Structure 1
Amino acid sequence: MSFLGNARLANFETDLSLTGYDYNAVLSAFYISYILLEIPANIACKWVGPGWFLPLCTIGFGICSLCNAFVQNIHSASAVRFLLGAFEAGLLPGLSYYLSRWYRRSELVFRISLFVVAAPLAGAFGGLLSSAILKLPHFGSLHSWRIIFAIEGLVTIAVGLVSLFALTDRPETARWLSQDEKALAIARVQSERIGVTEVLEQMNFTRVVRGIVNPSTIAVSIIFLLNNITVQGLSIFAPTIIKTIYPQHSIISQQLYTAPLYVSGAAMTMIISFMSWKSDQRLVFVLVCAPFMVCGYVMFLATTNPHTRYAATFLIAAGAFPFGALCNAQVAVNVISDTAQASAIATNVMFGNLGGLVSTWSYLTFDAPNYHIGNGLNLASSSTIIIITVLLRFWMDLDNRRRNLLNVDAGLASHTRQQIRELDWRHPAFRWRP
Structure 2
Amino acid sequence: MTASDEISKSSEKQEVLPESLPQVQRIEKEDVHLAAEEGFAATDSHGVPIIEFDRLAERKLRNKIDYMIVPTVSLLYLFCFIDRSNVGNARLAGLEIDLGMSGNDYNVLLSIFFISYILFEVPCNLACKWFGPGWFIPFISFGFGACSLGMAFVNHLPAACGVRFLLGAFEAGMMPGISYYLSRWYRRSELVFRISLFIVMAPLAGAFGGLLASGILSLSNIGSVHTWRMIFLVEGIITMGLSLISLMTLTDRPETARWLTEEEKTLAIARVKSEMLAQTTVLDKTNRKKVWLGFWNPAVLATSVIFLFNNITVQGLAFFTPTIVATIYPNYSTVRKQLYTVPPYVVGAVFEVLIPALSWRLDKRQIFFVPVALLTMMGYIMFLASKDTSVRYAATFFTAISCFAAGPLTNAQVSAQVISDSARSMSLATNMMFGNIGGLVATWSYLGWDGPNYPIGNGLNLAASTMILILSVATLLWMNWDNKRRDKVDVSRKLEGLSQAEIECLEWKHPGWRWKP
Matches within 5 A, 1:361-372: 361-372=444-455
1:267 lines up with 2:347 in the alignment = no
Counterpart code for 2:182: L
1:375 lines up with 2:470 in the alignment = no
Shift in Å at residue 347 of structure 1? 0.3
Higher helix share: 1
Which residue of the partner structure matches residue 64 of structure 1? 147
Separation in structure 2 between the aligned mates of residue 146 and residue 267 of structure 1, nearest angstrom = 31
Which of 330, 346, 354 is matched with 2:413 structurally?
330
Which residue of the partner structure matches residue 264 of structure 2? 181
Shift in Å at residue 414 of structure 1? 3.3
Which of 303, 310, 314 is matched with 1:231 structurally?
314
Which residue of the partner structure matches residue 419 of structure 1? 502
Which residue of the partner structure matches residue 43 of structure 1? 126
Which of 305, 312, 318 is matched with 1:222 structurally?
305
1:13 lines up with 2:133 in the alignment = no
1:156 lines up with 2:235 in the alignment = no
Separation in structure 2 between the aligned mates of residue 246 and residue 321 of structure 1, nearest angstrom = 24
| Post-superposition CA distance 1:166-205 (Å, at most 9, x none) | 0111100011000000000000000001011000011121
Which of 113, 116, 120 is matched with 2:203 structurally?
120
Matches within 5 A, 1:31-430: 31-430=114-513
Counterpart code for 2:171: E
Separation in structure 2 between the aligned mates of residue 153 and residue 127 of structure 1, nearest angstrom = 15
Separation in structure 1 between the aligned mates of residue 239 and residue 174 of structure 2, nearest angstrom = 13
Shift in Å at residue 131 of structure 1? 1.1
Shift in Å at residue 284 of structure 1? 1.2
Which residue of the partner structure matches residue 3 of structure 1? 86
- For the residue of structure 1 that corresponds to 2:341, the secondary structure is helix
Counterpart code for 1:261: P
Shift in Å at residue 132 of structure 1? 1.2
Q: Root-mean-square deviation (CA), in Å? A: 0.6
Counterpart code for 2:289: T
Shift in Å at residue 296 of structure 1? 0.4
Which residue of the partner structure matches residue 106 of structure 2? 23
- Gaps (5+ residues) in structure 2? 1-83
Counterpart code for 1:204: N
Which residue of the partner structure matches residue 10 of structure 2? none
- For the residue of structure 2 that corresponds to 1:72, the secondary structure is coil
Shift in Å at residue 290 of structure 1? 1.2
Separation in structure 2 between the aligned mates of residue 167 and residue 129 of structure 1, nearest angstrom = 26
Separation in structure 2 between the aligned mates of residue 167 and residue 261 of structure 1, nearest angstrom = 32
Separation in structure 2 between the aligned mates of residue 12 and residue 292 of structure 1, nearest angstrom = 34
Shift in Å at residue 416 of structure 1? 2.0
Separation in structure 2 between the aligned mates of residue 347 and residue 237 of structure 1, nearest angstrom = 26
Q: TM-score, normalised by structure 2?
A: 0.83
| Post-superposition CA distance 1:65-93 (Å, at most 9, x none) | 10011111110000000000000011110
Shift in Å at residue 283 of structure 1? 1.1
- For the residue of structure 1 that corresponds to 2:112, the secondary structure is helix
Separation in structure 2 between the aligned mates of residue 291 and residue 355 of structure 1, nearest angstrom = 19
Shift in Å at residue 2 of structure 1? 2.4
Runs (4+) of structure 1 moved beyond 6 Å?
Answer: none
Contact 1:264 1:318 in 2 (8 A): yes
Contact 1:55 1:163 in 2 (8 A): yes
Contact 1:195 1:427 in 2 (8 A): no
- For the residue of structure 1 that corresponds to 2:283, the secondary structure is coil
Separation in structure 2 between the aligned mates of residue 274 and residue 334 of structure 1, nearest angstrom = 19
- For the residue of structure 1 that corresponds to 2:120, the secondary structure is helix
Which residue of the partner structure matches residue 79 of structure 2? none
- For the residue of structure 2 that corresponds to 1:18, the secondary structure is coil
Counterpart code for 1:395: W
Shift in Å at residue 417 of structure 1? 1.7
Shift in Å at residue 427 of structure 1? 0.8
Shift in Å at residue 425 of structure 1? 1.1
Separation in structure 2 between the aligned mates of residue 115 and residue 274 of structure 1, nearest angstrom = 13
Q: How many residues align?
A: 434
Separation in structure 1 between the aligned mates of residue 497 and residue 462 of structure 2, nearest angstrom = 50
Separation in structure 2 between the aligned mates of residue 328 and residue 140 of structure 1, nearest angstrom = 42
Over alpha carbons, which structure has the higher Rg?
Answer: 2
- For the residue of structure 2 that corresponds to 1:77, the secondary structure is helix
| Post-superposition CA distance 1:121-179 (Å, at most 9, x none) | 01001111111111100011111111111111011001100010001111000110000
Shift in Å at residue 219 of structure 1? 0.3
Q: TM-score, normalised by structure 1?
A: 0.99
Separation in structure 2 between the aligned mates of residue 96 and residue 147 of structure 1, nearest angstrom = 32
- For the residue of structure 2 that corresponds to 1:70, the secondary structure is coil
| Post-superposition CA distance 1:286-310 (Å, at most 9, x none) | 1111111100000000010000000
Which residue of the partner structure matches residue 60 of structure 2? none
- For the residue of structure 2 that corresponds to 1:177, the secondary structure is coil
- For the residue of structure 2 that corresponds to 1:430, the secondary structure is coil
Separation in structure 1 between the aligned mates of residue 210 and residue 157 of structure 2, nearest angstrom = 24
